Amino acid sequence: MILLPAPMATSPHTVASCAIQASGSIDGDRELQNLNLVMGSTRRGTIVTGDGAMPRVDRAASPAGIIDLTVNRPAIDDFQQRLAQSLPALSSDPRFGQMQEYQPPEGPAWARRAARKWISLNGFDPSEDDIVVTSGAQHALLAVISSLIEPGDTIVCDRLTYYGLIALAQMFRFHIIGIGSDEQGMSAAELDDICGREPVRAVFTVPSMHNPTVVTMSEARRRELVGVAEKHDLVIIEDDVYGPMLGTHASALITLAPARTYHISALSKALAPGLRVGYLTCPPGRALLSAEAVRTTAWMPSPLPLLLATRWLEDGTAEAILKAQLAELRARHAIVTTILAGHSFSADPRCMFLWLRLPAPWRCEDFAANLRAHGVSVMAATAFACDRQPVEHAVRVNVGCASSREELATALRIIAATLNDRPRALAGLV
């Protein structure tokens, strides 16, 4: 019996073949091979190949009739086709035999060597001894937090910040203080002021295409921030998951303060969120402490995704997917600038989301609710607030989340029309 994965588009001939195969005839197997849907191999059985046309990813998590622009995901689905093509070849890799074995918590040496190629896209080349491989960026952040931060400690971050940090604060019971930012990034002056008034253990920042405001921190601001961290002996947690998409950009904070910076990179934003592989670069001599956190939380990074990611970094597949992703984002950015012309927003043609500022009298929650009533879902600014301080009335719109350029254009037209409308009550209150 042959089991085909549910997402695979099967023709009537394929269905017929499966029925024949189920009845015990070998002709069905031959027909599937002729259709390039499976391949036979001695000792490996029948393998579903990736040579047939692959369907677009089913984004079924969204309710029917809703265009979901809330999720940070790549704008293309090259990953699916590449994965189908790559899986049959994994078993011939010399490292495949290690898939059933325990691995070092920091990841096998071959995975850390390949990681250097991806991390170099952030503008530096670390020693593999300083790299800890994790199951994604959130796992890397957890490894840093759990190994360095005690209950009651304080971490300073942007007032609008990555929700994963907020969730960890609730879990590990440390405090978060949000500070302001401007067009150059997080305010170094405000960080200095906070540290002068109360003890702060670390600063968390997303310096490249900050989520959700899209701001990329200037070189001058990075150096100011590092200066404050050195003055007050702060740990720097640099979430640089969008860095590989920027190309040439300002210095990574870890290159300015290598002895106090933990740098996080991952494959999920540029390649696919389902590929849970992250890379944590630690200060010299500190990797074993973070690796112990990986051992405690997951024992080790899962070796099969590591092998796939490593092969893609070695053979250029990862770079090819990244280039295709950037090309699609540029095309979508052109749609954004056309349809939202005249409105206030921050965007970057290399970024998968934009930050849309709302005109008065719109409030961000009301705008998001009205949009959803018209079939479009976005994230209100309050979803990123680390505390109860007021935030600007804006929404994050994920241009990569739409299933096509046409769907994106439809959603943007609804957004533009809503911006030009006035707030309307969705339900009566008595």
**pLDDT tens digit string along 168-187?**
999 999 999 999 999 999 99
pLDDT of residue 358: 97
pLDDT of residue 48: 46
Contact 38, 47 (CB under 8 A): yes
pLDDT tops 90 at residue 73: no
pLDDT tops 90 at residue 85: no
A 10 A CB-CB count for 300 gives: 20
Q: What CATH fold (topology level) applies to the domain 102-317?
A: Aspartate Aminotransferase; domain 2 (3.40.640)
Q: Where are the beta strands (DSSP E) in 218-351?
A: 235-239, 261-266, 278-281, 345-346
Mean pLDDT for the stretch of residues 202-208: 97
Rounded CA-CA distance 74/87 in Å is: 21
Q: 388: Cβ–Cβ under 8 A, 6 or more apart, which residues?
A: none
pLDDT tops 80 at residue 26: no
Rounded CA-CA distance 24/282 in Å is: 56
Confidence band for 53, pLDDT divided at 50, 70 and 90: very low
pLDDT of residue 63: 61
Rounded CA-CA distance 308/89 in Å is: 10
Q: For residues 91, 95, 96 and 97, what is the CA-based torsion angle, rounded to 10 degrees? A: 130
Rounded CA-CA distance 27/47 in Å is: 16
Confidence band for 51, pLDDT divided at 50, 70 and 90: very low
Mean pLDDT for the stretch of residues 268-290: 92
**pLDDT tens digit string along 227-269?**
999 999 999 999 999 999 998 778 999 999 999 999 999 998 8
pLDDT of residue 58: 46
pLDDT of residue 404: 94
Rounded CA-CA distance 364/213 in Å is: 14
Location of each CATH 3.40.640.10 domain in the chain: 102-317
**pLDDT tens digit string along 217-226?**
999 999 999 9
